Amino acid sequence: MSKANTILYLDGVSVSFDGFRAINNLSLVLDKGEMRAIIGPNGAGKTTMMDIVTGKTRPDAGEVYFDGNVDLTRHDEADIAMLGIGRKFQKPTVFENHCVEDNLLLSLKGPRSILPALFSRRSTAENKRIDDIFDIIRLGHRRGDLAASLSHGQKQWLEIGMLLAQDPKLLLVDEPVAGMTDAETEETARLLKQIAETHSVIVVEHDMHFVRELGVKVTCLHEGSVLSEGSLDFVSADERVVEVYLGR
Ligand SMILES: Nc1ncnc2c1ncn2[C@@H]1O[C@H](COP(=O)(O)OP(=O)(O)OP(=O)(O)O)[C@@H](O)[C@H]1O
């Protein structure tokens, strides 16, 4: 298959830990600009797949390409972040003792140290970037408030904003709605759809209501490989998916 229009291309990827195959001949392709939801039972390999993409774990076998022709197996974690892959872990890790706006400023892409980031005059372009991100993460009215005062859901949105500040081409988002209220969950689906208009996104989630709201192609992983892939309706009607995951 051609890698030309892909943002992520995994083929025949395997990795074992102490003889246990966590990822087993995994092939997964994401087109440029696509948002994909990844589902699957605990231990299916979702986190390990993202560890491979971000360079945290090296595959034992297989091809891992980013943005067409960049061989990610030849790059380390720091390189891969610079190349334009941003990852958001499940638990929010914002700078609690800084205000919301400073959290975004500290994350803006480019060589900067903390003090100049906070105290130097900002360029018009930087101000525009920050305003645009505030529009997406729905926190413009909380700019000056301490990050510690945000709700759990708002902290997740702020961290998504911090990811956007690094200007990634591909965002990997791990269980963003765990612990959110229903209203926050629905808003998060809208927010990610907005982000997906200009970025490629992979979202790992167990919340099927949220996955339905996203309205994107779904990949169900099981035992380190793709068990089923297609629309949510297609995947949820797959008896194997019901057996190992949805029916539980
Ligand atoms: N560093 C490691 N050393 C040993 N085993 C590991 C390591 N990382 C993952 N595994 C094992 O690999 C398998 C896949 O784990 P992984 O965390 O990728 O699954 P997951 O789909 O993300 O699950 P969850 O939904 O619970 O987060 C599990 O059986 C796990 O115990």
Ligand 1, atom 18: closest residue by C-alpha = 45
- Our answer on whether the CB atom of 103 is closer than 6 Å to any ligand 1 atom is no
22 CA to middle of ligand 1, Å?
6
Ligand 1, atom 3: closest residue by C-alpha = 17
Is 197 a residue whose pLDDT tops 90?
yes
DSSP letter, residue 40: -
pLDDT score recorded for residue 69: 94
DSSP strand E in 32-138: where?
35-39, 61-66, 70-71, 85-88
More confident residue, 189 or 118: 189
pTM of structure: 0.92
pLDDT score recorded for residue 125: 79
Secondary structure percentages of the chain, helix, strand, coil, to 5:
40, 25, 35
Q: Residue 155: which of 103, 210, 198, 117 has the closest Cα?
A: 103
50 CA to middle of ligand 1, Å?
11
- Our answer on whether the CB atom of 75 is closer than 6 Å to any ligand 1 atom is no
SS3 48: helix
How far is residue 80's CA from residue 8's CA, in Å, rounded to a whole number?
A: 12
Percent of the chain with pLDDT over 90: 84
38 CA to middle of ligand 1, Å?
15
Q: Which of 47, 57, 221 to mutate to test ligand 1, by most ligand atoms within 8 A of the CB atom? A: 47
- Our answer on whether the CB atom of 228 is closer than 6 Å to any ligand 1 atom is no
- Our answer on whether the CB atom of 33 is closer than 6 Å to any ligand 1 atom is no
Amino acid at 153: G
How far is residue 3's CA from residue 129's CA, in Å, rounded to a whole number?
A: 31
Which phi and psi angles does 182 have, rounded to 5°? -60, -40
How far is residue 69's CA from residue 76's CA, in Å, rounded to a whole number?
A: 16
Is 193 a residue whose pLDDT tops 70?
yes
**What is the ipTM, given to two decimal places?**
0.93
pLDDT score recorded for residue 2: 82
pLDDT score recorded for residue 190: 96
- Our answer on whether the CB atom of 219 is closer than 6 Å to any ligand 1 atom is no
How far is residue 195's CA from residue 160's CA, in Å, rounded to a whole number?
A: 10
How far is residue 22's CA from residue 150's CA, in Å, rounded to a whole number?
A: 36
Is 117 a residue whose pLDDT tops 60?
no
Q: Give the largest Cα separation in the chain, rounded.
A: 58
pLDDT score recorded for residue 127: 86
pLDDT score recorded for residue 110: 61
Mean pLDDT of 201-227: 97
How far is residue 163's CA from residue 107's CA, in Å, rounded to a whole number?
A: 7
Mean pLDDT of 17-40: 97
Q: What is the pLDDT of residues 36-80, one digit of tens each?
A: 999 999 999 999 999 999 999 999 999 999 999 999 999 999 999
Q: Where does the pLDDT of residue 112 fall: very low under 50, low under 70, confident under 90, or very high at 90 and above? A: low
- Our answer on whether the CB atom of 37 is closer than 6 Å to any ligand 1 atom is no
Instruction: Provide CB contacts within 8 A for 10, sequence distance 6+.
Output: 26, 27, 28, 29, 49, 52, 53, 62, 63, 64, 65
pLDDT score recorded for residue 247: 82
Q: What is the pLDDT of residues 137-178, one digit of tens each?
A: 999 999 999 999 999 999 999 999 999 999 899 999 999 999
Q: Which of 46, 206, 207, 211 to mutate to test ligand 1, by most ligand atoms within 8 A of the CB atom? A: 46
43 CA to middle of ligand 1, Å?
5
10 Å CB burial of residue 18 (0-12, 13-18, 19+) is: exposed
- Our answer on whether the CB atom of 45 is closer than 6 Å to any ligand 1 atom is yes
Tokens of 153: 């859901």
pLDDT score recorded for residue 89: 84
76 close to 52: Cβ distance less than 8 angstroms: no
Is 116 a residue whose pLDDT tops 60?
no
Q: Where does the pLDDT of residue 108 fall: very low under 50, low under 70, confident under 90, or very high at 90 and above? A: confident
